[in-house]
Amino acid sequence: MPIDFEFTDEQRMFREMIVDFAQNEIEPLVEEAEATQTFPKQLFPMLGEIGLLGISFPEEYGGVAQDKIMDCIFSEEMGRVNAGIAMCINAHTSLSMFPIYKFGSEEQKQKYLVPGIEGKIIGSLGITEPNAGSDARSIRTQAEKKGDRYVLNGTKTWITNGTMCDYAVVAAYTDKTKKGHGISIFIVDKGTPGFSVSGKMHKLGHRSADTSELIFEGCEVPEDSLLVGEGGFAGAMETLLGARITHAAKSVGIAQAAFEYALQYSKEREAFGRPISKFQAISFKLADMAVKIETARLMVYKAAWLYSNGKRCLKEASMAKLYSAEIVQSVATEALQVLGGYGYSVEYNAERYYRDARLASITEGTSEIQRIVISRELGI
């Protein structure tokens, strides 16, 4: 079978539709969202209406049953328009709804997945805690069984969609004696007594993203809030592999935006009597940026293709995540350099891309963790 590196007509049309939506509906909201550090919540029902929150979910739940390639096209274009907005969308779809789709009971799917795909409710995923990030098994949140209820105590930090979510998918120990194997996952509704949210966390970049702490103090949830029982945590974490590929696509989108911005500027800005793009020092920079983006994009869509075809792709997903995270930072740094002093001004987008890019090697598994995964896959 020949290797085909071209997007299909359907994929191209899908991208065009998203670019259109991003330009007309999202771009006008970006400045205010960044300035006020507030996600424009009205986007969720709008995205739901046109099926963009259900790309990888089956039609029976209101999804459009497409593959990871389509999901990556969407994520790439969202990253290109605004990283913070892209992150909140990914947190809702890939991090909070996907585990419910994968492990939820029919009732849970009807309660959370169906309205979630419609954009009527928003979800978050709470794993990270003040003392446990990469080492998720070190979380301290506990869910103690009391009759037909569980009582949650603990704090989650850095939670995307934290303040605006309607429910949180939360990891907690139900048996502390079984390291790792004693972790279960719950769905906790906002408004449940004992579940509160800290104020917004202020960040270097991704300022339009909603980030906060989730606090559980004697928070009682019914038994049927359990999503994944003991022994299932590691397997549930493995399903976040798809989110890693989507995250990489988002990084490619941010890099593409930074590159386009610098390219345009380099053609307009003149120094020593000609556009700066005519200086080899600048044109080579742009050429190198384009090569890095192209390489990362190939890695992302290869991983997405493997994933969509049900092939093992742990190594490829981590490679795509790692590489995209590294190149988005170098591309954004170089883009800022192309703008010279203006690159340092908040009046120009280059500084936003530079700040946003920095997160890529931290979330969804740091670059160090990706290297551990890749090394393991190499048999080391």
Q: Which residues are known catalytic residues? A: 364
230 phi and psi, to 5 degrees? Answer: -55, 140
d(CA 203, CA 355): 9
Classify the phi-psi angles of 180: left when phi > 0, otherwise alpha if psi is within -120 to 50, otherwise beta. Answer: left
State how far the alpha carbon of 345 is from the alpha carbons of 144, 172, 220, 334, in Å: 51, 44, 49, 15
206 phi and psi, to 5 degrees? Answer: 45, 45
Among 155, 160, 246, 266, binds ligand FAD (CB under 6 A): 160
Rounded to the nearest angstrom, the gap between the alpha carbon of residue 228 and the centroid of all alpha carbons in its chain is: 22
Do 87 and 57 form a contact (C-beta atoms < 8 A)? Answer: no
The vertex-296 CA angle with 43 and 85, nearest 5°, equals 15
Q: Which two tokens stand for residue 245?
A: 């590929």
Residue 94 vs 308, nearer CB to ligand FAD = 94
Residue 159 vs 299, nearer CB to ligand FAD = 159
Longest dimension (CA), the chain: 79
d(CA 274, CA 3): 43
Query: Which amino acid makes up residue 359?
Result: L
CB of 353 to ligand FAD, least distance (A): 16
Listed ranges 177-185, 221-229, 314-322, 363-371: which one lies at the site for ligand FAD (CB under 6 A): 363-371
Residue 114 vs 369, nearer CB to ligand FAD = 369
CB of 107 to ligand FAD, least distance (A): 25
Listed ranges 268-276, 322-330, 335-343, 357-365: which one lies at the site for ligand FAD (CB under 6 A): 357-365
Residue of closest CB approach to ligand FAD = 133
Among 284, 368, 375, 376, binds ligand FAD (CB under 6 A): 368
State how far the alpha carbon of 65 is from the alpha carbons of 51, 55, 70, 203, 237, in Å: 10, 6, 10, 35, 22
Residue 33 vs 338, nearer CB to ligand FAD = 33
Residue 308 vs 370, nearer CB to ligand FAD = 370
DSSP-derived 3-state class of residue 293: helix
Q: Which residues pair with 208 in a beta bridge?
A: none
CB of 242 to ligand FAD, least distance (A): 15
Residue 41 vs 149, nearer CB to ligand FAD = 41
- Residue list 192-251, contact with ligand FAD (CB under 6 A): 203, 206, 211
d(CA 332, CA 30): 18
- Residue list 72-131, contact with ligand FAD (CB under 6 A): 91, 124-128
222 phi and psi, to 5 degrees? Answer: -70, 160
- Residue list 32-61, contact with ligand FAD (CB under 6 A): none
CB of 158 to ligand FAD, least distance (A): 4
- Residue list 292-351, contact with ligand FAD (CB under 6 A): none
Residues in binding contact with ligand FAD, number by CB under 6 A: 22
* Helices and strands, counts by H and E, the chain: 14, 10
d(CA 329, CA 268): 24
CB of 209 to ligand FAD, least distance (A): 6
- Nearest one of 377, 358, 378, 379 to 367, comparing CA atoms: 358
CB of 35 to ligand FAD, least distance (A): 18
CB of 189 to ligand FAD, least distance (A): 17
Listed ranges 28-36, 98-106, 157-165, 175-183: which one lies at the site for ligand FAD (CB under 6 A): 157-165
Residue 127 vs 317, nearer CB to ligand FAD = 127
- Residue list 127-156, contact with ligand FAD (CB under 6 A): 127-128, 133-135
Residues that bind ligand FAD (CB under 6 A): 91, 124-128, 133-135, 158-160, 203, 206, 211, 359, 362-363, 366, 368-369, 372
